[in-house]
A and B are shown apart, each in its own frame.
Chain A
Amino acid sequence: MASGETHSVENQQRRWLNLRKLLERSGPFSHPDFEPSAEILDFIMDSCKVLIVGAGGLGCELLKDLALMGFKKLHVVDMDTIELSNLNRQFLFRKNDIGLSKAKCAVEFVNKRVPGCEAVAHHCSIQDLDEGFYRQFHIVVCGLDSIVARRWLNGMLMSLLQYNDDRSLDQSSVIPFVDGGTEGFKGNARVILPGMSACIECTLDLYPPQKTFPLCTIANTPRLPEHCIEYVKVLQWAKENPWGSSTPIDGDDPQHVTWVFEKAQDRAIKHGISNVTYRLTQGVLKNIIPAVASTNAAIAACCATEVFKLASSCCTNMNNYMVMNIADGVYTYTFNAERKPDCVACSNTTRVVELEPDATLQTIYDKLCEDPAFMMKSPGITTVINGRNKTLYMSSIKSIEERTRDNFKKENNRIGFIQWR
Chain B
Amino acid sequence: MASPSPKSPEQSEKTKQYDRQLRLWGDHGQTALEHGHICLINANALGTEILKSIVLPGVGAITIVDDKIVSDEDIGSNFFLECSSKSLNRGAEALRLLLELNPAVRGHAVQEPPDQILKENPEFFKSFSVVIATALGEKTIQELAQHLWDINVPLILCRSVGFLGSFRIQMREHAVIETHPDNEQTDLRLDVPFQALSDYLNCFDIDAVDLKDHGHIPWIVIIYKAVQKWQSQNANGWPMSRKEKNEIKNIILEFVRKDENDVPISEENFEEAIRAVNTALVPTFLPVKIQELLYCTSATNLSKDSAPFWVMCAALRGFVEGEGKGKLPVKGVLPDMTASTDHYIKLQNLYRTQAAMDAEIVYRKVLQIVAQLHCENISEADVKLFCRHAHDLYLLCGSNIVTEYQLNSSVATFISRHLEEPDVMMVHYIMLRAAEMFQSEHCRAPGDWDPEGDISKLKACVTKVLSDVSCSPFPKDDHIHEMCRYGGAEIHSVSAFLGGCTAQEAIKLITKQYKPVNNTFIFDAASTNSATFAF
- The chain A residues found within 8 Å of chain B, CB to CB, are 11, 14-19, 21-22, 25-29, 61, 64-65, 68-69, 84-85, 87-89, 91, 94, 113-115, 184-185, 189, 217, 221-224, 242-244, 254-255, 258-259, 261-262, 271-273, 278-279, 282-283, 288-302, 304-306, 308, 315-316, 318, 322, 325-332, 334
- Report how far A244 CA is from B530 CA in the complex, Å: 56
Complex partner residue of B180 from A17, A292, A327, CB under 8 angstroms = A327
> Is the CB–CB distance between B216 and A221 below 8 Å?
yes
> Is the CB–CB distance between A223 and B345 below 8 Å?
yes
> Is the CB–CB distance between A243 and B11 below 8 Å?
no
Interface string of B497-531 (1 = CB under 8 A from A): 10111011101000000111110010101111110
> Is the CB–CB distance between A294 and B53 below 8 Å?
yes
- Report how far A384 CA is from B465 CA in the complex, Å: 68
Complex partner residue of B491 from A22, A316, A330, CB under 8 angstroms = A22
Besides A69-B493, A258-B8, A329-B515, 12 other CB < 8 A contacts? A21-B451, A28-B479, A64-B79, A221-B344, A255-B8, A278-B9, A294-B501, A298-B496, A302-B528, A305-B491, A330-B517, A331-B530
> Is the CB–CB distance between A21 and B344 below 8 Å?
no
> Is the CB–CB distance between B345 and A273 below 8 Å?
yes
Judge if B4 is at the interface, Cβ distance under 8 Å. Answer: yes
Nearest Cβ on chain A to B442's Cβ, whole angstroms: 17
- Report how far A304 CA is from B493 CA in the complex, Å: 6
Interface string of B404-425 (1 = CB under 8 A from A): 0000000000000000000000
Q: B11: which A residues are within 8 A, CB to CB? A: 254, 278-279
B505 and chain A: residue at smallest CB distance: A330
Judge if B58 is at the interface, Cβ distance under 8 Å. Answer: yes
Asked, given contacts A15-B76, A329-B518, whether A224 binds B336 with beta carbons under 8 Å apart, the answer is: yes
> Is the CB–CB distance between A290 and B6 below 8 Å?
no
> Is the CB–CB distance between B4 and A242 below 8 Å?
yes
Interface size class of B (residues with CB under 8 A): 35 or more
> Is the CB–CB distance between A27 and B4 below 8 Å?
no
Nearest Cβ on chain B to A69's Cβ, whole angstroms: 6
Asked, given contacts A221-B340, A293-B56, A329-B515, whether A68 binds B76 with beta carbons under 8 Å apart, the answer is: yes
> Is the CB–CB distance between B72 and A15 below 8 Å?
yes
Q: A84: which B residues are within 8 A, CB to CB? A: 13, 16-17
Complex partner residue of B482 from A27, A89, A189, A329, CB under 8 angstroms = A27
Q: Give the interface segment out of B19-27, B146-154, B380-388.
A: B19-27
Nearest Cβ on chain A to B401's Cβ, whole angstroms: 18
Asked, given contacts A69-B493, A322-B528, whether A15 binds B1 with beta carbons under 8 Å apart, the answer is: no
Asked, given contacts A68-B77, A330-B521, whether A223 binds B526 with beta carbons under 8 Å apart, the answer is: no
> Is the CB–CB distance between A291 and B20 below 8 Å?
yes
Q: A272: which B residues are within 8 A, CB to CB? A: 341, 345, 349
- Report how far A282 CA is from B8 CA in the complex, Å: 13
- Report how far A65 CA is from B525 CA in the complex, Å: 14
Complex partner residue of A88 from B17, B76, B344, B518, CB under 8 angstroms = B17
> Is the CB–CB distance between A305 and B497 below 8 Å?
yes
Judge if B373 is at the interface, Cβ distance under 8 Å. Answer: no
- Report how far A305 CA is from B515 CA in the complex, Å: 27
Nearest Cβ on chain B to A308's Cβ, whole angstroms: 6
Q: B329: which A residues are within 8 A, CB to CB? A: none
- Report how far A331 CA is from B100 CA in the complex, Å: 31
Q: B451: which A residues are within 8 A, CB to CB? A: 21, 25
Q: A293: which B residues are within 8 A, CB to CB? A: 21, 52-53, 56-57, 500, 503
Nearest Cβ on chain B to A101's Cβ, whole angstroms: 20
Identify which of residues 75-92 in chain B touch chain A, using a CB-to-CB cut-off of 8 Å: 75-79, 82-83
Interface string of B92-127 (1 = CB under 8 A from A): 000000001110000000000000000000000000
Asked, given contacts A11-B72, A29-B478, A29-B526, whether A88 binds B18 with beta carbons under 8 Å apart, the answer is: yes
- Report how far A297 CA is from B45 CA in the complex, Å: 13
Identify which of residues 12-48 in chain B touch chain A, using a CB-to-CB cut-off of 8 Å: 13, 16-24, 45
Nearest Cβ on chain A to B80's Cβ, whole angstroms: 9
Judge if B486 is at the interface, Cβ distance under 8 Å. Answer: yes
- Report how far A244 CA is from B4 CA in the complex, Å: 11
> Is the CB–CB distance between B500 and A68 below 8 Å?
no
> Is the CB–CB distance between B500 and A296 below 8 Å?
yes
Nearest Cβ on chain B to A68's Cβ, whole angstroms: 4
- Report how far A304 CA is from B5 CA in the complex, Å: 48
> Is the CB–CB distance between B493 and A308 below 8 Å?
yes
Q: What are 23 pairs between A and B in contact, CB < 8 Å?
A: A11-B72, A14-B71, A15-B72, A18-B492, A22-B162, A22-B491, A29-B527, A61-B496, A85-B19, A89-B20, A89-B57, A114-B79, A189-B528, A223-B344, A288-B20, A294-B500, A302-B493, A302-B528, A304-B496, A305-B494, A330-B532, A332-B529, A334-B527
Nearest Cβ on chain A to B302's Cβ, whole angstroms: 29
Q: Do most interface residues of chain B lie in helix, strand or loop, or is the interface mixed?
A: mixed
Nearest Cβ on chain A to B27's Cβ, whole angstroms: 9
Asked, given contacts A259-B4, A327-B182, A329-B518, whether A18 binds B491 with beta carbons under 8 Å apart, the answer is: yes
Complex partner residue of A305 from B24, B53, B102, B525, CB under 8 angstroms = B525
Q: A328: which B residues are within 8 A, CB to CB? A: 179, 181-182, 514-515
Q: B532: which A residues are within 8 A, CB to CB? A: 329-331
Judge if B378 is at the interface, Cβ distance under 8 Å. Answer: no
Q: B499: which A residues are within 8 A, CB to CB? A: 297-298, 301
Asked, given contacts A14-B73, A18-B77, A28-B478, whether A294 binds B489 with beta carbons under 8 Å apart, the answer is: no
Complex partner residue of B504 from A26, A244, A294, CB under 8 angstroms = A294
Among A87, A294, A295, chain B packs the most CB atoms within 10 A around the CB of A294
Q: B436: which A residues are within 8 A, CB to CB? A: none
A277 and chain B: residue at smallest CB distance: B9
A281 and chain B: residue at smallest CB distance: B9
Judge if B232 is at the interface, Cβ distance under 8 Å. Answer: no
Q: A223: which B residues are within 8 A, CB to CB? A: 336-337, 339, 341, 344-345, 348
- Report how far A136 CA is from B322 CA in the complex, Å: 73
Nearest Cβ on chain A to B324's Cβ, whole angstroms: 25
Q: B345: which A residues are within 8 A, CB to CB? A: 223, 271-273
Judge if B372 is at the interface, Cβ distance under 8 Å. Answer: no
Judge if B49 is at the interface, Cβ distance under 8 Å. Answer: yes
> Is the CB–CB distance between A292 and B22 below 8 Å?
no
Identify which of residues 313-356 in chain B touch chain A, using a CB-to-CB cut-off of 8 Å: 336-341, 344-345, 348-349
Q: B49: which A residues are within 8 A, CB to CB? A: 297
A11 and chain B: residue at smallest CB distance: B72
Judge if B10 is at the interface, Cβ distance under 8 Å. Answer: yes
> Is the CB–CB distance between A185 and B492 below 8 Å?
no
Q: A15: which B residues are within 8 A, CB to CB? A: 72-73, 75-76
Q: B496: which A residues are within 8 A, CB to CB? A: 61, 64-65, 297-298, 300-301, 304
Judge if B60 is at the interface, Cβ distance under 8 Å. Answer: no
- Report how far A389 CA is from B68 CA in the complex, Å: 67
Nearest Cβ on chain B to A23's Cβ, whole angstroms: 10
Interface string of B467-502 (1 = CB under 8 A from A): 000000000001101100111011111111101110
> Is the CB–CB distance between A302 and B497 below 8 Å?
yes
B482 and chain A: residue at smallest CB distance: A27
Q: A308: which B residues are within 8 A, CB to CB? A: 493
Q: B507: which A residues are within 8 A, CB to CB? A: 294
Nearest Cβ on chain A to B525's Cβ, whole angstroms: 5
Nearest Cβ on chain A to B481's Cβ, whole angstroms: 5
Q: B523: which A residues are within 8 A, CB to CB? A: 332
Judge if B163 is at the interface, Cβ distance under 8 Å. Answer: yes
B80 and chain A: residue at smallest CB distance: A113
> Is the CB–CB distance between A329 and B516 below 8 Å?
yes
- Report how far A244 CA is from B344 CA in the complex, Å: 36
> Is the CB–CB distance between B485 and A329 below 8 Å?
no
A1 and chain B: residue at smallest CB distance: B83
